[in-house]
């Protein structure tokens, strides 16, 4: 693992997926234990698939506000502006949030694009490519953790009923006045992702920050050729706390940033509980079993920055 110094003096782990498999899996486990976050390079997602998805996103956000608002009618998925979740969280961000199942993508594409069949095929290609990458990373994690069934994590997000999402976040550049005002510079406030694994790709504009310890924010240097990988709450529970879901946030700047984020999630009815191999007499189960549906319901009843796993602790 190469640890790269970031602009702000902090460091983020970088994993080169073209290296020897056993080394890669050990480095991934180390990064997930220490940070819950790493960057992958040489990930194999074709550049044209990323570029086509980026173009669809930019074309959409460039449209007049009134046209974009109409897309909001595909609720709970569709266009959002500033409002995040349903409990009063706001940020300097507009976004498109889509479920990854192909029926959902196809339905949304009619509201989002003037060429729905092209939009669907671009989005489906992107989803398939990042899902494959997420599954590969999850298999490497299982191998590094020496879990006998190396597909134990990836099976959850490969399931046809997986509740995975894809999100395009567009952070407009702030005006000079905004930049001096710290309160309006938060694009997407501090939180952890509820799902299993998140893969984020952004354009070459800085903004993403990860929390390495309470109150210490490390900027992640922008790198459009890599993917950022976040451990989500569900993976923290599955690993009985060996991996920690990373708290992160996005800040705006004087340049427009767009990120494309895939959230790998289990099916709604799937049970999440610490894997037996992760539970020992010295390290008893930290979390009670819960279904993904139950966890999601809790997540949506709380604020963005709240800790959701707290509600599922055994003691």
Q: Cα separations (Å) of 234 from 23, 242, 292? A: 25, 12, 8
Per CB under 6 A, the list member of 3, 52, 85, 178 interacting with ligand GA4 is 85
Give burial (CB, 10 Å; 0-12/13-18/19+) of 315. exposed
In the region spanning residues 167 to 186, those forming contacts with ligand GA4, defined by CB under 6 A, are: 167
Contact in structure between 138 and 153 (CB atoms under 8 Å):
yes
DSSP state of 204: S
| Closer by beta carbon to ligand GA4, 1 or else 199 | 199
Per CB under 6 A, the list member of 68, 191, 201, 249 interacting with ligand GA4 is 191
| Closer by beta carbon to ligand GA4, 36 or else 144 | 36
Question: Least CB distance from residue 313 to ligand GA4, whole Å?
Answer: 18
Residue 72 binds ligand GA4, judged by CB under 6 A: no
* 36 phi-psi bin (left φ>0, alpha ψ -120 to 50, beta other): left
**Annotated catalytic residue, options 177, 257, 288, 308:** 257
| Closer by beta carbon to ligand GA4, 32 or else 304 | 304
Stretch that binds ligand GA4, among 41-49, 131-139, 188-196, 205-213 (CB under 6 A): 188-196
257 is catalytic: yes
Stretch that binds ligand GA4, among 57-65, 82-90, 235-243, 284-292 (CB under 6 A): 82-90
Spatial separation of the C-alpha atoms in residues 276 and 102, rounded to whole Å: 34
How many whole angstroms from its chain centre is CA 258?
14
Tokens of 19: 């290296």
Question: Least CB distance from residue 27 to ligand GA4, whole Å?
Answer: 25
Stretch that binds ligand GA4, among 24-32, 34-42, 52-60, 189-197 (CB under 6 A): 189-197
Residue 89 binds ligand GA4, judged by CB under 6 A: yes
Neighbours of 168 (CB within 10 A): 22
Contact in structure between 31 and 244 (CB atoms under 8 Å):
no
Neighbours of 256 (CB within 10 A): 16
Question: Least CB distance from residue 191 to ligand GA4, whole Å?
Answer: 5
Per CB under 6 A, the list member of 69, 181, 254, 300 interacting with ligand GA4 is 300
């Amino acid at each position: 693992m190469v640890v790269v110094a970031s602009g702000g003096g902090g460091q983020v782990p970088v994993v080169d997926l073209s290296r020897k498999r056993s080394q890669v899996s050990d480095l991934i486990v180390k990064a997930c234990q220490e940070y819950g976050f790493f960057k992958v390079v040489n990930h194999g997602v074709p550049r044209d698939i990323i570029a086509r998805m980026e173009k669809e996103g930019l074309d959409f956000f460039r449209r007049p506000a009134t046209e974009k608002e109409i897309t909001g009618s595909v609720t709970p998925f569709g266009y959002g502006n500033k409002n995040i979740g349903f409990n009063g969280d706001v940020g300097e961000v507009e976004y498109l949030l889509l479920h990854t199942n192909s029926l959902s993508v196809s339905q949304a594409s009619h509201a989002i694009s003037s060429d729905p069949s092209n939009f669907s095929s671009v989005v489906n290609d992107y989803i398939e490519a990042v899902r494959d990458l997420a599954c590969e990373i999850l298999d490497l994690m299982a191998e590094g953790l020496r879990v006998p069934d190396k597909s134990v994590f990836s099976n959850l997000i490969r399931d046809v009923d997986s509740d995975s999402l894809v999100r395009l976040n567009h952070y407009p550049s702030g005006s000079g006045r905004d930049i001096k005002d710290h309160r309006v510079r938060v694009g997407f406030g501090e939180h952890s992702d509820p799902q299993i694994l998140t893969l984020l790709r952004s354009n070459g504009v800085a903004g993403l920050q990860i929390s390495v310890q309470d109150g210490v924010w490390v900027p992640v240097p922008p790198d459009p050729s890599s993917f950022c990988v976040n451990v989500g709450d569900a993976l923290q529970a599955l690993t009985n706390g060996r991996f920690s879901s990373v708290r992160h946030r996005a800040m705006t700047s004087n340049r427009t940033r767009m990120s494309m984020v895939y959230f790998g999630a289990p099916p709604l009815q799937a049970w999440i509980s610490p894997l037996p191999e992760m539970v020992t007499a010295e390290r008893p189960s930290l979390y009670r079993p819960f279904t993904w549906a139950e966890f999601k319901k809790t997540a949506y009843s709380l604020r963005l920055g709240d800790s959701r796993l707290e509600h599922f602790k055994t003691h």
